[in-house]
Structure formats: C-alpha cells, structure tokens
Amino acid sequence: MEEIGFLGTGIMGKAMAVNLLRHGFKVTVWNRTLSRCDELVQHGASVGETPAAVVKKCKYTIAMLSDPAAALSVVFDKDGALEQICGGKGYIDMSTVDADTSSKISEAITSKGGCFVEAPVSGSKKPAEDGQLVILAAGDKALYDQVLPAFDVLGKKSFFLGQVGNGAKMKLVVNMIMGSMMNAFSEGVVLADKSGLDPHTLLDVLDLGAIANPMFKMKGPAMINNSYPPAFPLKHQQKDMRLALALGDENAVPMPVAAAANEAFKKARSLGLGDHDFSAVFETIRGAQSST
C-alpha cells in the first residue's frame, strides 16, 4: 500500500499506528499536541505539522479522534485535511461520531474529488494493541477494498455496512449495549458484596454461565480492587451513550435502560472520573450505597 497518514495519537490512535508500523507500513502521524507523536517516531513514523500536510503527503489518511467536534475540526479548520483533499486521495475516519457528522465529512471530502470511508471500531486499548479490533466500515466500497490490507492489520474482522452513516450507527448501538451492561454488572457486583457474598466468586459463576463475556472477565477483578486504568475513558462512553440516545429519539425507539445508564455515567463524570476507564461507573453505585 501507499504511505498512510494517521491523525490522532491518543490511547487508540497510538496503538493502531504502532501496529501499522510494525507490519511494514510507512506512516506519517499528526496530533494536536505534536509531542505525543515522539514515541511513534521511535517506531519509524514521520510527523506532519498539520492535518493538511499529512493529507498532501499521503494517498490515504486515517483519522482517530475523540468526538464529533474534534473530527469536524481536523477536517474543516485552517490547515485541516480538506485543504489538501483532491482526486485520488482517500480519507478514512475511524472516530466514533454520529451519522450526521460522518455525512458532513463525507460530503466535504467527495465534493473535492476525494473518497471517504467511515470505519469506527469496536474494541478498546488492548484489542487495538493486539490488532484485534472489529471494524465497522461504510461509504466508498472501492476505497474500502484499497485499505483492507491496513484494516487486516488493525482488526480481526472488517464489516462493510453500505452507505455512510451505517458504520456510525452500528458503533453507537454496540457501545450503548456495552454501557448498559457495565451498569448492570456494577450493580450486581455491589449487590453481591453487600449481601455478604464474595464478588470474586460472582465473577467465577458469571464466567461459567450463559452471560459469560470478555468484558466481565477482564474488567471485574480490577473494579473490585478499585482500579480503573483507562482502556476506554468514561467521558467517551458517556458521549456515545448520549449520541445513541439521540439516535433512539430520531427513530422513536424507547430506551429507558440506556437512559438510566447514561445518567450513571454523567454522575461519574461529575465526580471527576471522566478520564478513568468507563468501568469506573462502578464508583457511582458503590458510593451511593455507602452513603445510605
């Protein structure tokens, strides 16, 4: 493949860019705080001074930003990606955003002759490091086919979901389910503990039953030990709950469970837990119980 540009080197972006470099791809990176690119330079990356500079240099540019505002800013602001988009350029946005944001970016890219694919991912820090993400792509099928070699390095499975917006919607549905599950799991762990049961035994029981899943197995022991290293920051989970609820409003789907989970994540943010892992929502339930 041609050289790949990579915009955004946060928790996810850094791990993904490192994987591309380890598999022999030439990568030029950019981050709003450029010093965060230093570690990637040690792995062989080049650094672009602006998103526009990265797009000018690279045929394909991947963006992995924190939220819709950041995704739009990197495209539309001065020295943004759009300034250097032209025929033959491909822009792949792997950020988790709403369908409207994805459509705005797509329309801008294609209006200048470029091609666009949205490709949000299911998975957090560890799957990103291990190349085990699930990629939820939509948009230009020809561009999707061209960047599949990169997707195969970044993920264990790529889905092509059709028109722009479908990838964003699928990701929001997945994260809405995940956030709701985390709240139910947290309530169960606290309930077991306060009922005189060993929470570790609860984890063992859950792991042997029909609702066994990697999230409970991976997050549970750390939660019991009050440890929340940020694989997926809570502030981003709450953002995704909010966007999923807006999608529910748009489609007249009642979502009382997700709405309640969103309130718990908002409470956690108000307690200063936004930069902790999303499993730190556990503190809102344990804290509420302790105060009664």
As annotated, the active-site residues are 171
Stretch (H or E) spanning 170: helix 166-194
DSSP three-state, residue 20: helix
Residue 35 is given by DSSP the state G
By three-state DSSP, how is residue 29 classified? strand
Q: At what angle do helices 199-207 and 166-194 cross, to 10 degrees?
A: 130
- Which stretches of 71-114 are assigned E, i.e. beta strand? 90-93
Compute the distance between CA of residue 155 and CA of residue 132 in angstroms, rounded to an integer.
4
Residue type at 152 in one-letter notation = D
* C-alpha–C-alpha distance, residues 20 and 1, integer Å: 11
CA distances from 48 to 37, 216, 241 (A): 10, 40, 33
Bridge pairing between strands 155-160 and 4-7: unpaired
H or E element in which residue 156 lies: strand 155-160
| CA-closest candidate to residue 161, choices 105, 104, 133, 119 | 119
Nearest to 183 by CA among 270, 281, 286: 281
CA dist 239 and 274 (Å) reads 11
